[in-house]
């Protein structure tokens, strides 16, 4: 068995302070892709340096896009909406990033002359791609998943596309974005209707770059043949990264934990709503908007916490925050119910099972259901050994739980955190200076 990166955490002392988190991962992926498809050069400040976004940048470079770092800026020289190229059959390694693979499929479907196979790591190779492959095929794309049950690798050859109407079974921003991007490359109009609205970064950012995007309730549509304008953009901090520190503030901090310039897109702020509902003291200030995306300083400090419910249309607004919200639930009075979250079973890990395993090992009262969890609190968490299952959000949620627990917690297999938040441990140490937080290979 090869060595794994581990964290050993022994919570002790006050939690509080002010941090800056990396640039939003979802916005970073899209900034790279939209800049690559633009006519002209774009400058990006605050681009996420996580491995997922690096995978997107490297894939675009292999398709002829010039991407360079100039000081704190990333300069992308766009090739135009149909200007990507491949020197023969190219392999694009998407690493652990489902966003890279799914959005890239939409981009490549209508690129004439491009032939590519999109691969990923072990975790990504387990994730379903049929939800993108099948609707793209209906638009005329030459695309097929080579793995069992329409899983990666995925082979694609650029083709002439025609617009189509799509109805999705799951509210997924990745699927919606892939189909809208393919729609820009297609003849006619393409629309996507979701069961509930997923995060809308793609729509906001395309509109800020001159693309006409029409929304009618849960239905979003674009007409083919539109160009994407270059744009200089400063990316706000990642709300999902900030969520771990807000939950720390809610359960452990009298003075508060504040996150600077963090994105507050309303399709993403479900966690802020839940924190306020459960009784945490939430402070929002210094609101700005850039590139169609709002941002603010948000601080959270503890108060009496009550149990809460997550389900229905709220789930897409906080699906990535459910691991750390489950930790919050262990410290809230009453029974917290998380339902309608079956999508968690096909993330980087089966997150429902991974959360259940972690919390049970730490002594929480929790039951696992097919599409969610029930957690009864408050309870005294105890230090134990946790496996992240190669999932960055499980690892970081485990670190939050470890700071709230008595005793020492060992979290294994945490290399995955670099996919989204390479500086996580440094931020954790800064807000919990009295805790012992060690990192080692073992």
Residue 22 is given by DSSP the state P
CB of 171 closer than 8 Å to CB of 192: no
> Residue 55: CA atoms inside 13 Å, Cβ hemisphere, count?
26
Q: Is 10 a catalytic residue?
A: no
Q: What's the pTM?
A: 0.96
pLDDT at 290: 86
3-state secondary structure 236-260: CECHHHHHHHHHHHHHHCCCCEEEE
Give residue 2's pLDDT band: very low, low, confident or very high (50, 70, 90).
confident
Residue-by-residue DSSP string for 144-187: EE-STTS-S-EEEE----B--EEE-SS--HHHHHHHHHHHHTSB
- Region 416-422: mean pLDDT is 96
pLDDT in tens, 280-307: 999 999 999 988 899 999 999 999 999 9
What's the distance, CA 264 to chain centroid?
Answer: 14
**Number of residues that make up the chain:** 442
pLDDT in tens, 132-156: 999 999 999 999 999 999 999 999 9
Average per-residue pLDDT for the chain: 97
Between CA 41 and CA 229 the distance in angstroms is 9
Residue-by-residue DSSP string for 273-315: HHHHHHT-EEEEEEEEEETTEEEEEEEEE----B--EE-GGGG
pLDDT at 71: 86
pLDDT in tens, 23-82: 999 999 999 999 999 999 999 999 999 999 999 999 999 999 999 998 889 999 999 999
* DSSP H or E segment with residue 438: strand 436-441
Q: What percent of the chain has pLDDT over 90?
A: 97
- Region 203-225: mean pLDDT is 97
Residue 304 CB partners (closer than 8 Å, separation 6+): 279, 333
pLDDT at 291: 84
Q: Is the pLDDT of residue 12 over 90?
A: no
pLDDT at 1: 62
Domains and CATH numbers, the chain: 5-23+236-441 (3.65.10.10), 25-233 (3.65.10.10)
Cα distances (Å, whole numbers) of residue 243 to 235, 247, 254, 313, 373: 17, 6, 17, 19, 19
CB of 188 closer than 8 Å to CB of 163: yes
Catalytic hit among 24, 200, 238, 320: 320
- Region 339-351: mean pLDDT is 97
pLDDT at 292: 87
Question: φ and ψ at 15, to 5 degrees?
Answer: -120, 135
The answer to whether the peptide bond before residue 378 is cis (omega within 30 degrees of 0) is: yes
pLDDT in tens, 168-180: 999 999 999 999 9
**What dihedral angle (degrees, nearest 10) is formed by the CA atoms of 17, 20, 21, 24?**
140
């Amino acid at each position: 068995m090869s060595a794994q990166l581990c964290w050993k955490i022994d919570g002790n002392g006050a939690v509080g302070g002010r941090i800056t988190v990396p640039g939003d991962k979802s916005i970073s992926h899209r900034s790279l892709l939209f800049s690559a498809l633009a006519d002209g050069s774009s400058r990006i400040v605050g681009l996420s340096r996580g491995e997922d976004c690096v995978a997107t940048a490297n894939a675009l470079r292999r398709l002829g896009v010039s991407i360079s770092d100039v000081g704190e800026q990333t300069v992308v020289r766009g090739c135009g909406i149909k200007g990507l190229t491949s020197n023969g059959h190219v392999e694009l390694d998407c690493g652990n990033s489902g966003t890279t693979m799914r959005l890239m499929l939409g981009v490549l479907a209508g690129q004439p002359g491009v032939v590519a196979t999109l691969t990923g790591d072990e975790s990504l190779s387990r994730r379903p791609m049929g939800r993108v492959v099948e609707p793209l095929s209906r638009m005329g794309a030459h695309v097929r998943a080579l793995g069992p049950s329409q899983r990666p690798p995925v082979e694609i050859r650029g083709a002439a596309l025609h617009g189509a109407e799509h109805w999705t079974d799951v509210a997924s921003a990745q699927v919606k974005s892939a189909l809208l991007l393919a729609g820009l490359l297609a003849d006619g109009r393409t629309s996507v209707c979701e069961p509930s609205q997923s995060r809308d970064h793609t729509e906001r950012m395309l509109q800020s770059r001159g693309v006409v995007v029409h929304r009618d309730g849960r239905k979003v549509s674009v007409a083919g043949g539109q160009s994407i304008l270059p744009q200089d953009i400063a990316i706000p901090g990642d709300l999902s990264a900030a969520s771990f520190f807000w939950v720390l503030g809610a359960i452990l901090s009298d003075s508060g934990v504040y996150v600077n310039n963090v994105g507050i897109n309303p399709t993403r702020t479900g966690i802020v709503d839940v924190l306020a509902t459960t009784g945490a003291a939430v402070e929002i200030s210094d609101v700005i908007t850039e590139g169609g995306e709002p941002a603010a300083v948000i601080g959270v400090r503890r108060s009496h916490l009550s149990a809460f419910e997550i389900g229905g249309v709220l789930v897409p607004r906080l699906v990535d925050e459910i691991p750390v919200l489950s930790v919050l639930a262990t410290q809230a009075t009453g029974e917290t119910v998380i339902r309608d979250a079956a999508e968690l079973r096909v993330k980087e890990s089966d997150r429902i099972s991974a959360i259940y395993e972690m919390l049970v090992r730490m002594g929480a009262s929790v039951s696992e259901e097919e599409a969610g969890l029930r957690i009864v609190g408050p309870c005294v968490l105890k230090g134990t050994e946790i496996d992240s299952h190669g999932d960055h959000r499980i690892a970081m949620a485990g670190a939050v739980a470890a700071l709230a627990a008595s005793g020492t917690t060992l979290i294994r297999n945490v290399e995955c955190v670099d996919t989204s938040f390479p500086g996580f441990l440094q931020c954790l140490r800064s807000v919990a200076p009295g805790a012992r937080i060690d990192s080692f290979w073992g």
